[in-house]
Chains A and B, each alone.
Chain A
């Protein structure tokens, strides 16, 4: 990728693991050698409401931690009923990743949808596999690692199918 900053918004409902997903993505970007910032708002939004987290990375310095309105290259949505709410973040020509990308049967635990969606997103990013692996290791507790690895792989497969 060039010097441009890549903007990702991950959105969903409180409790779906939006913040964990953006933590993993930011960590992977860091390990892939990018400058990275991520931003979200804690608090009231945790009570089952809409949550969005911004991740920005690039080869050059990233200034604002917030994705400018309508400039997201990727919007990843974890909740079907929040897709319309999240769509305005997307830039024209940007990519919207929605939860219907992931076949429910492919996940042994629906709570890993957040990591599966990262797998789907990973197809469009140039991070080395090791970057994702290290990021998952750093952010996912050991006992949940296996189920999340499987979710990531299932999501990546779904992403590859979409691309083909």
Chain B
């Protein structure tokens, strides 16, 4: 067997491509299904770092790309919501190097709070978008994304989905290494400073670039036609293409790789070449709506197939216009809080004290399940603080005093800090209690570091954010640190007292995640030994 074929996940393929493309800096925030990209990039020798959140990641990558570097920012789909502010205006300013933003969407919500379709972001921001269908394409398209980004000096959205990120398929890593350019700062005030007068011209420049890319895309090898029967034509991109090929092996297929801006002349010629044309796409009818807006008669899937992932079986049913209710997919044991999770006493206390819990994103969200059912809201990263405060403001005092915001350490650093500022600035009349579950890791996504662990992505020591010091400095009236597993009764008494106090309060429940504790000790020992060596 030839050794140059490797079985790689889409995430691993992107990491390898990033290395071969001379990506100078990869940054992002952990989020399933995107997390492994930066971890593998780092293992391969690339420079990778976790940012506190996706907005900061895109901004750091943007700065690097202003300095002519090739930069990568990775995130899950909802992460792009957080990063959307710089993302939109980066399309106006453009860049000098390359900027690739990976959005890993999660149709079917294997591990997410929604199944938003981030292809709309490309159209909304005017950012070119590539959609690989397997790991080979993840590898090949990434290099193409870098070329497009450098040629048109625009950020590129690299849109993946759960099955492309996590599936392992064969890759020939045949790409010649693209030599990385030298970095330099070139002053371009009208190009980079988006005051209205400069931004108006920048918007026109962006649209002009997109017109050029549309024309280029008409003949780009990123889109392919697979010859087949005239009776049925399929238009597909991403993983849907794979399902489509299998469900209808004899159909003609137009496979789209660069899905914003779309090559409408090629699409028109394909649609006109077949008798029946069906758009096969997962999630929203993004392609179907764009194609129909051109006056082309294509079939879209029935609305029921907008929900969840596509499969070969579902594509067969779409083609058969089968709208009968689908059998429920096999369901085994649902996930749950680890049986020995040290935060179980926390959820027991919240339940016993009949708290109204504004929750957040992380494995502790599983506290919503029996036996605790100790969570009442969960919206997005950091929302526990704002939602908890809003509940406090609106509810009558005796009810308001039951409200607690519960958030993990990594989530708090990601986007809880501004909520804490809000609590100090607009305190509810009953005060408020923010409970930070500090297990010393980003547990849900596979135990990544974050600024409050004091270790970088590669687990080496770095500057450390001390959450209690931050809370005190912001002006929170009461700040406590406690170990809920060591003293569950003490934790309950403290929580009860703080709920009754009428003051603003932060309670940090600190105990390392059991799954991470061993590794944390190893990192700490290594750091201590290094310290000793340096001193000697």
CB distance B311 to A68 under 8 Å?
yes
In whole angstroms, what is the CA distance A133 to B446 when docked?
A: 29
Residue B339 lies at the interface, judged by CB distance under 8 Å to chain A: yes
Interface size on B, residues (CB 8 A): 40
How close is A9's CB to chain B, nearest CB, in angstroms? 9
User: When the two chains form the complex, which single residue of B312, B334, B363 contacts A66, counting CB atoms closer than 8 Å?
Assistant: B312
CB distance A86 to B330 under 8 Å?
yes
Chain B, range 433-486, C-beta contacts under 8 Å to A: 444-446
CB distance B329 to A69 under 8 Å?
yes
CB distance B311 to A44 under 8 Å?
no
Residue B53 lies at the interface, judged by CB distance under 8 Å to chain A: no
In whole angstroms, what is the CA distance A51 to B335 when docked?
A: 9
In whole angstroms, what is the CA distance A48 to B110 when docked?
A: 14
Residue A46 lies at the interface, judged by CB distance under 8 Å to chain B: yes
Measured between beta carbons, the chain B residues less than 8 angstroms from A13 are 332-333
In whole angstroms, what is the CA distance A143 to B444 when docked?
A: 28
CB distance B313 to A68 under 8 Å?
yes
User: When the two chains form the complex, which single residue of A11, A26, A35, A43 contacts B332, counting CB atoms closer than 8 Å?
Assistant: A11
Measured between beta carbons, the chain B residues less than 8 angstroms from A81 are 333
Measured between beta carbons, the chain A residues less than 8 angstroms from B134 are 37, 65
Residue B321 lies at the interface, judged by CB distance under 8 Å to chain A: no
| Given contacts A41-B111, A42-B111, A44-B110, A64 and B166 within 8 Å (CB-CB) | no
User: When the two chains form the complex, which single residue of B168, B242, B363, B445 contacts A63, counting CB atoms closer than 8 Å?
Assistant: B242
CB distance A49 to B336 under 8 Å?
yes
CB distance B330 to A45 under 8 Å?
no
The interface residues of chain A, by DSSP majority, are classed as: mixed
In whole angstroms, what is the CA distance A42 to B311 when docked?
A: 18
Residue B201 lies at the interface, judged by CB distance under 8 Å to chain A: no
In whole angstroms, what is the CA distance A70 to B314 when docked?
A: 13
How close is B78's CB to chain A, nearest CB, in angstroms? 13
CB distance B335 to A45 under 8 Å?
yes
CB distance B312 to A68 under 8 Å?
yes
How close is A121's CB to chain B, nearest CB, in angstroms? 18
In whole angstroms, what is the CA distance A64 to B249 when docked?
A: 12
Shortest Cβ distance from A82 into B: residue: B332
Residue A147 lies at the interface, judged by CB distance under 8 Å to chain B: no
Per-residue interface assignment for chain B, residues 311 to 323, with 1 indicating a CB less than 8 Å from any chain A CB and 0 otherwise: 1110000000000
Per-residue interface assignment for chain B, residues 288 to 332, with 1 indicating a CB less than 8 Å from any chain A CB and 0 otherwise: 000000000000000000000001110000000000000101111
Measured between beta carbons, the chain A residues less than 8 angstroms from B245 are 63-64
Residue B411 lies at the interface, judged by CB distance under 8 Å to chain A: no
In whole angstroms, what is the CA distance A30 to B110 when docked?
A: 28
Residue B210 lies at the interface, judged by CB distance under 8 Å to chain A: no
Residue B402 lies at the interface, judged by CB distance under 8 Å to chain A: no
How close is A73's CB to chain B, nearest CB, in angstroms? 15
CB distance B169 to A37 under 8 Å?
yes
CB distance A49 to B246 under 8 Å?
no
User: When the two chains form the complex, which single residue of A38, A48, A82 contacts B167, counting CB atoms closer than 8 Å?
Assistant: A38
Measured between beta carbons, the chain A residues less than 8 angstroms from B337 are 47
How close is B38's CB to chain A, nearest CB, in angstroms? 15
User: When the two chains form the complex, which single residue of A26, A64, A82 contacts B243, counting CB atoms closer than 8 Å?
Assistant: A64
Shortest Cβ distance from B249 into A: residue: A63
In whole angstroms, what is the CA distance A81 to B334 when docked?
A: 13
Shortest Cβ distance from A35 into B: residue: B170
In whole angstroms, what is the CA distance A87 to B32 when docked?
A: 27
How close is B469's CB to chain A, nearest CB, in angstroms? 32
Measured between beta carbons, the chain A residues less than 8 angstroms from B5 are 30
Measured between beta carbons, the chain B residues less than 8 angstroms from A27 are 7
| Given contacts A43-B444, A43-B445, A65 and B335 within 8 Å (CB-CB) | no
Chain A, range 36-92, C-beta contacts under 8 Å to B: 36-52, 63-66, 68-70, 81-82, 85-89
Residue A104 lies at the interface, judged by CB distance under 8 Å to chain B: no
How close is B201's CB to chain A, nearest CB, in angstroms? 44
Residue A31 lies at the interface, judged by CB distance under 8 Å to chain B: yes
CB distance B110 to A43 under 8 Å?
yes
In whole angstroms, what is the CA distance A23 to B7 when docked?
A: 9
CB distance A43 to B331 under 8 Å?
no
Shortest Cβ distance from A40 into B: residue: B166
In whole angstroms, what is the CA distance A23 to B6 when docked?
A: 12
Residue B68 lies at the interface, judged by CB distance under 8 Å to chain A: no
CB distance B363 to A33 under 8 Å?
no
Residue B217 lies at the interface, judged by CB distance under 8 Å to chain A: no
CB distance B333 to A82 under 8 Å?
yes
Residue B338 lies at the interface, judged by CB distance under 8 Å to chain A: yes
Shortest Cβ distance from A66 into B: residue: B311
CB distance A43 to B32 under 8 Å?
yes
How close is B320's CB to chain A, nearest CB, in angstroms? 14
Residue A99 lies at the interface, judged by CB distance under 8 Å to chain B: no
In whole angstroms, what is the CA distance A86 to B329 when docked?
A: 10
In whole angstroms, what is the CA distance A39 to B243 when docked?
A: 13
CB distance A85 to B111 under 8 Å?
no
User: When the two chains form the complex, which single residue of B313, B339, B446 contacts A69, counting CB atoms closer than 8 Å?
Assistant: B313
In whole angstroms, what is the CA distance A48 to B337 when docked?
A: 8
In whole angstroms, what is the CA distance A42 to B32 when docked?
A: 7
Residue A14 lies at the interface, judged by CB distance under 8 Å to chain B: yes
CB distance A42 to B33 under 8 Å?
yes
User: When the two chains form the complex, which single residue of B32, B111, B169, B338 contacts A48, counting CB atoms closer than 8 Å?
Assistant: B338
Measured between beta carbons, the chain A residues less than 8 angstroms from B335 are 14, 44-49
In whole angstroms, what is the CA distance A43 to B32 when docked?
A: 6
Per-residue interface assignment for chain B, residues 158 to 172, with 1 indicating a CB less than 8 Å from any chain A CB and 0 otherwise: 000011001111100
Shortest Cβ distance from A51 into B: residue: B332
| Given contacts A11-B332, A82-B332, A85-B331, A48 and B339 within 8 Å (CB-CB) | yes
Residue B1 lies at the interface, judged by CB distance under 8 Å to chain A: yes
12 CB < 8 A contacts A-B: A11-B332, A37-B167, A40-B167, A41-B110, A42-B111, A43-B32, A43-B111, A49-B336, A50-B331, A65-B169, A82-B332, A88-B330
Q: Enumerate the 10 nearest inter-chain pairs by beta-carbon distance, A residue then B residue, closest first.
A: A50-B332, A43-B111, A85-B332, A49-B335, A47-B335, A43-B32, A65-B167, A39-B167, A63-B246, A41-B110
Extra 12 A-B pairs, beta carbons < 8 Å, given A31-B1, A42-B33, A65-B163: A35-B170, A36-B7, A37-B169, A40-B166, A43-B111, A45-B335, A47-B366, A63-B242, A64-B243, A64-B245, A86-B332, A87-B330
